Structure formats: C-alpha cells, structure tokens
Amino acid sequence: MSKRRQLDPDERVLWETVAATTEPLNRAKAAAQAADAEPPTPLAKAPARAAPARTPSAPPAPATHRLEPLDRRLRTKLGRGTASVDGRLDLHGLTQREAHNKLRSFLAEAQRRGARLVLVITGKGKPERASLFEDERGVLRRSVPQWLSSPEFRPYVGGFDEAHRTDGGGGALYVRIRKLKGGAG
C-alpha cells in the first residue's frame, strides 16, 4: 500500500472549493462516505521532464491582405448610376490563359493610374452547352473570382462583388483596387 501525503493548507482550500461545486451521483451513498472519509489527496507530483527540443519553425508568412466585399452604400450608388467604375475589362471569348494574363495586366495598370473600382466582365456562359457539359458553363465566371482571391492578385485587389444587373449581374464583377504602395495613386 502506498503512503498518502497530507494536503497543504492551500491544496485543502482548493479541494474544498472544487468539492463544493460538484454534485454527487448517488446522494445517500455520497453522504455516508463523506462522513467516514477524508477528501482524496492529489497524486504525488511527477518529476519534471525536460521540455522537448524545439525545431526551428518556418519564418512567419507575410501578412496577407483581407478581401472585403463592397459596402452596401457603394453598391446602391452603382445600381442607381450615381457612382461609376474607373475602368472596364471584357474577357468574353478569351481562353483561361489569355484571360488570366489580361486580367493581371489590367489590374496592375488600373492600380498605377489610381483607379479605385473597375468592372470585369466574364460573361455567364453559353446556356445551350450547359445541357451537355454542365461543368463547362461559364468557365471564366467560375475562374475569375478564384484568381482574384489568390495571393498573386492580392497586391491589386481589395475586394470584389457581383455586379449590379445594369452592369452585367452574374456575368460581371466589381473589383475594388488597392492603393499603390508608396503614396502614388
């Protein structure tokens, strides 16, 4: 049989505090045991172990910019025609590679000239092809938001949102352009 060590005064206070907040499962049996027994003692402290060796961690990732959707006030102004976009890019008829390169160049140029909001038209896809190739409908419509969310486009894109129906609705996106670092724009 192992020897039980006595509780320190601090440990006893802690034990009584914890014990007061618990509720026994079987009240009659617990009351009988409480009258006979002392509160259980904590286990003897295990010897301290050395902390595991730390492997050098990878350098922290550079801070990424968060993408924010357009605010409601701006969307309302765009829908009413009281606000306008600073540029338009139509990607109809382009391959994914052509569209990707053209989009990157367009956004970089828009940022250099100080544009704040641009419209990127992707198109909605051809409905007649949808019945045969459901996954192929609107390839650019699906791809462009993924591109805009990627780290490659983060220096240019502050956020994006589906365009108002007067500007193309589901076949176009408003893209908010980030200010150029260094005060230009």
User: Given a cut of 50, is residue 42 above it in pLDDT?
Assistant: yes
Residues 6+ apart with CB under 8 A from 24: 30, 31
- Alpha-carbon gap, residue 178 to 56, rounded angstroms: 35
pLDDT digits (tens, 9 = 90+) for 114-161: 999 999 999 887 765 555 555 556 889 999 999 999 999 999 999 999
Domains of the chain with CATH codes:
72-177 (3.30.1370.110)
Two structure tokens written together for 122: 């992707």
Give backbone dihedrals phi and psi of 172, rounded to 5 degrees, phi first: -150, 160
pLDDT above 60 (res 44): no
**pTM above the 0.75 mark?**
no
Section 34-62 average pLDDT:
54
Q: Tell me how far CA of residue 84 lies from CA of 65, 67, 160, in angstroms.
A: 25, 21, 15
Q: In Å, how far are 75, 81, 117, 160, 167 from 72, measured between CA atoms?
A: 5, 14, 14, 13, 16
